[in-house]
Amino acid sequence: MKPAVFQYRKAETTREALEALGTNPGAKVLAGGQSLVPLMNFRLSRPDVLVDINGIEELTLVEKLDQTLAIGALVRHSTLSQHPLIEREVPVLAEAARHIGHWAIRNRGTIGGSAVHADPAAELPAALVALRASVVVGAPRGERTMPADEFFLGYYTTALAQDELVMRFEIPLPARRMGFSEVVRRPGDFALVGAYVEDSDAEAAVTWFGLGAMPERQVVEAWPKGQDERQALLERLAREVQSDDEYKYAMAVNVAERAYLAAQKEG
């Protein structure tokens, strides 16, 4: 229950962090540590070098540029849940962040860490896919940007290379109505299943988490106004993602229905 030996490198800038990652093939990034440190305590993860990015100021920024909201990788869940800009521009993200873990976890855990950990039942990876965010990744060879749905590849698996660092997420800000809901056994647990439902004028979609190996976003032409018809459609969509466990897709339909109703309240 104690981590194996590692070397500690504190990075003050993204450049220092990338240098440390580039020169140490066995290095891992330490952000909030709320997923990595438990894995290290169990020795399921034994990095040779930990690159601590907690002192890098530029990774903590939240700013609106034009019609995009940029959120630094090191922004903590507690900040996501109460930042005025996020609350105003993407309230569904603030709402989802309030459902992550517990108070003490939210005070340390980061959006970048949650994305890189890529737990299929986590709130934020699915939020990024639902919001059609871009992931901006730094590397010694320069930055690259990819859509969130290309970043997540499967269970705990992403497109991030060993020497790369997630810098920030860029969320486009069209007029959007989106609701969030999840089912958990106890408050703070990972979701059994959860959904984001979008019912904007330009787009109707559902993004599931806890249902497949990664967040799954499905676009529909429009959400039927009738509840029976809508739920039949949701069930068909959920079964496309996961058809084995009846209890799961049954629950998924309920969760998505609640998310749909929450989206209606966004006006």
Partner 1 sequence: MAAVEDRISIQLQVNGRQHQVEVAPRWTLADVLRHQIGLTGTHIGCEQGVCGACTVLLDGEPVRSCLMFAVQAQGHHVTTVEGVTPETGLSPLQESFRDHHALQCGYCTPGMLLTAQALLDRNPTADEGAVREALTGNLCRCTGYQFIVDAVLAARDQGRDE
Q: C-alpha angle with apex 248: 247 to 250, nearest 5 degrees?
A: 65
Binding region for partner 1 (CB under 8 A) out of 82-90, 100-108, 154-162, 195-203 = 100-108
Q: How far is the CB of 126 from partner 1 (least distance, A)?
A: 21
Sequential DSSP letters for 174-215: -S--EEEEEE-SSTTSPPSEEEEEEE-SS-EEEEEESSSSS-
Q: What is the closest distance, in whole angstroms, from the C-beta atom of residue 112 to partner 1 in the complex?
A: 16
Residue with tokens 């140490």: 24
Whichever of 37 and 183 has its CB closer to partner 1, that residue is 37
What does residue 71 show for φ and ψ, rounded to 5 degrees? -125, 120
54 binds partner 1 (CB under 8 A): yes
CA distance 5 to 238: 44
Distance CA 255, CA 181 (A): 6
CB of 35 to partner 1, least distance (A): 9
8 A C-beta contact, residue 165 and residue 172: no
- Asked if 16 is part of the footprint of partner 1 (rule: CB under 8 A), the reply reads no
Q: In the complex, what is the shortest distance from the CB of residue 104 to partner 1, in angstroms, rounded to a whole number?
A: 4
Phi, psi (degrees; rounded to nearest 5) at 218: -125, 130
Which residue from 34, 110, 134, 181 is in contact with partner 1, where contact means CB under 8 A?
Answer: 34
The two structure tokens encoding residue 218: 């499905």
Q: Is 52 in the site for partner 1 (CB under 8 A)?
A: yes
- Give yes or no for residue 3 binding partner 1 (CB under 8 A): yes
Question: Rounded to whole angstroms, how far apart are CA atoms 116 and 105?
Answer: 17
Which of 50, 94, 97, 238 lies at the binding interface for partner 1 (CB under 8 A)?
Answer: 50
Q: Which of 185, 186, 225, 265 binds partner 1 (CB under 8 A)?
A: 186
Report the nearest approach of partner 1 to the CB of residue 252 (Å).
Answer: 24
Q: What angle do CA 207, 172, 249 make, to 5 degrees?
A: 5
Q: Which stretch binds partner 1 (CB under 8 A): 32-40, 152-160, 212-220, 241-249?
A: 32-40
| Count of residues engaged in binding partner 1, rule: CB under 8 A | 31
Kindly state whether residue 38 participates in binding partner 1, applying the rule CB under 8 A: yes
Binding site for partner 1 (CB under 8 A): 1-8, 10, 30, 33-34, 37-38, 40-42, 50, 52, 54, 78, 101-105, 107-108, 186-188
